A and B are shown apart, each in its own frame.
Chain A
Amino acid sequence: MIGLLFGAVLVLAFVVAVALPLLLWLDARQRGLVGDARVESPTARDDTGLLVYLRPFVDSLRELSRPDPIDLEAAPIAARLAPVISLFAALGAFALIPFGGRYAILSEPITLVVADPDWGVLGIVVAMAIAGLGVSLTGIAGVRTESLRGGVRAATQGTAGVLALTTSLLPMWVIYETMQPSAIGVWQDGVIPLSRLLEQAGVAVPEWWPDAVGFPAWGVFLNPLALVLFVTASLIVVGRSPFDAAFSQRDLDGGVLCELSGFRRLTMLLAGHVWTIVLAGVATLAFLGGWSIPWLSQSTLVGVIEPCFGSGFAELLCALAHVGSFVVKLGLVVFAMSSIPWPFPPLRADQVIDLCFRLLIPLGLLDAWLTTAVAIALGGDAT
C-alpha cells in the first residue's frame, strides 16, 4: 500500500512539476508570448532561465488571487463543482498510464503503473466522457448566454471526439486482445522479424537471416491510420487548435470560460492541459511501444547488464531506462500535439462534429474490420 501511495505521489509530482510547466511553456511559445519569435503584445515576456519554469506557477497564483464573480457559498452545487470534475477525472486517469513494465527489484515484483486493471484503457475513455459532463455542466450553470452556448458546443464537440477516439482504438484492441495498460506495453516490447513478413509474402528467406532484423512491434507500424485518427480525435477532445472554436469563436466570448475566474477558471484550464498529457500517454502506450526501447527488449537489456552488476541492479537500471524512454516519447507526442496543428485553419464546432461523423468514426470502424480480417487471414496473428 505504501508503494502504491508513493507511486501515485510520484506520478502526480511528475504531472504538476514537469509535464504541465513544459506544456504551458510550449503553448506560450506557440502563441509567440515567449522565445525568439516573441510578438509585440502586452502579455509577451522575456523570461529566461528559472523564470521560464516558474512562470506557470506564478500565473496560477495570480489567477487564484482573483475573486470569483459569483458567490460560491450561495451558488448551486453544479456551478461550484462542475469545473472541478474535468480536472478530477483527468488526474484520476493518470493512475492507468504505465511508465514502465514489470520488474523484480530486490526480489520484489514491481509494476510501474499505479493501477493495472484489465479495463485500463477503457477506463480512460470513460473518464474522458465524465470530463465532458463537467464542461457541459459548467456551461449550463453559467449566467450568460455565451456560457451556455459555449458549454453546449464544447460538450457536443467533446462527445463526438470521444466517440471518434474510441473507434480509433478498436483496431488496436483487436491487435493486442487486451485493454490492460501493462499488457499492451509488454506486447510491443519486441521486434517483428523481417524474415516472417517476407515468408508470408512468399519470398524465400535464407536460413542465416537473423530474426533480430525487423521493425519494433509498435502499434504505429502495425496500424498507422489508427494513430492519425487517434491524434486528430485527441485534439478535438481537448479542444486544441485547429479544433478550439468552442472556446475561441468570437460570438462565444470565451465560451464556458467567459464567466469563470479564480479557482474555477484555473481548474478548467488545467483540466484541458492535463487531458492533453493523458492522451499523449495513451498514444505513447498504444502506438509508440509505451516504455519499450526499439530493438532492445527487456530480456535483452537485463541479459546484457546482469553479468556485470547482478540481477537486481540490472532490473533497476532497466526500469530507469524504460521510464526515461516513456517520458521522452510522451514529451515528443505532447510537443507534436501542441505544435503541429497550428498551420491548419481553425474549424467551426459544427464542422468538427461533421468531421467526426463523416470521416473519423466511419474510418475507425472500417479500420477495425480490416484489421480483424487481416488478423483472421494470418491465422489469428495480427502481426
Chain B
Amino acid sequence: MTESVGVLVMLALAALLIGGIGWIHRKLSPRPAAATPEPSDPVPRTVTRIPLRFGVAVLLMLVIATAIVVLIPWTIAARELGGAGLLASALFAAPVLGGLLHAASRGPVE
C-alpha cells in the first residue's frame, strides 16, 4: 500500500499543474461572453453512420483484451508453472489468436 502512495501524490501534483494551466488560460483569454466567434462557425454534426464492420473490429478488440488480461498473471508465474502452464496458456489463447487472424484476413476494419 505504501508503495502506491507516490502515485496519489503525483496525481495530486498533476491536478495542481493542470489547474494552474487552466487558471492562466482564464486570466489570459477573453471571457466566454466576450469571446468572438471563429470566422468559420462550427458546422453542426450531421447524422454519422458507423459501419457495422467497425463494430466487429471493436468486439474483436474486447475479446483480445480479455485474452491478454488473462495471460498477464501467467507471464509472471510462467517459469514456475513450466510446460503445463505453457500448454494451458497456448490452448487458451490459440483459438482467440486463430479467430483474430481469420477475422483480420476478411478485413473487418477496412
Residues of A within 8 A of B (CB): 4-5, 7-9, 11-12, 16, 61, 64-69, 71-73, 84, 87-88, 91-92, 94-96, 113-118, 122-123, 142-145, 147-149, 152, 156, 159-160, 163, 166-167, 170-171, 173-174, 177-179, 259, 262-263, 266-267, 350, 353-354, 357-358, 361-362, 365, 368-369, 372-373, 375-376, 380, 382
Contact = CB atoms under 8 A, between A and B. Distances in A.
A241 to B, nearest CB: 21
Nearest to B11: A92
Contacts, number: 196
A67 B30 contact: yes
Given A61-B24, A117-B4, A262-B29, A122 B93 contact: no
Contact of B9 (A4, A354, A382): A4
A356 B42 CA distance: 34
Nearest to B9: A8
Nearest to B75: A173
B35 A372 contact: no
A179 B80 CA distance: 16
Given A88-B18, A143-B42, A350-B109, A67 B86 contact: no
Contacts of B105: 358
Main SS at interface, chain A: helix
Contacts of A373: 86
A5 B9 contact: yes
Which of A84, A166, A372 has the most C-beta atoms of chain B within 10 angstroms of its own C-beta?
A: A372
The secondary structure that dominates the B interface is helix
Given A113-B6, A354-B109, A263 B58 contact: no
Contacts of A142: 45
Nearest to A127: B7
Interface of B: 3-7, 9-11, 13-15, 17-18, 21-22, 24-25, 28-30, 32, 34-38, 42-46, 48, 50, 54, 57-58, 60-61, 64-65, 68, 71-72, 75-80, 82-83, 85-86, 89-90, 93, 97, 100-101, 103-105, 107, 109-110
A122 B73 CA distance: 11
Contacts of A114: 6-7, 9-10
A170 B6 CA distance: 25
Nearest to A173: B75
A145 B45 contact: yes
A64 B79 contact: no
Contact of A95 (B7, B37, B44, B75): B7
B32 A71 contact: yes
B46 to A, nearest CB: 5
A175 to B, nearest CB: 9
A172 to B, nearest CB: 8
A376 B86 contact: yes
A73 B32 contact: yes
Contacts of B89: 369, 372
9 contacts: A64-B25, A64-B28, A145-B45, A159-B61, A170-B71, A262-B25, A365-B71, A373-B86, A382-B79
B5 to A, nearest CB: 7
Contacts of A160: 61
Contacts of B75: 170-171, 173-174, 368, 372
A156 B54 CA distance: 9
Contact of B17 (A16, A72, A163, A350): A16
The 4 A-B pairs at the shortest CB distance, nearest first, are namely: A115-B6, A95-B10, A91-B14, A263-B25
A117 B100 contact: no
A166 B3 contact: no
A123 B72 CA distance: 12
Contacts of B82: 376, 380
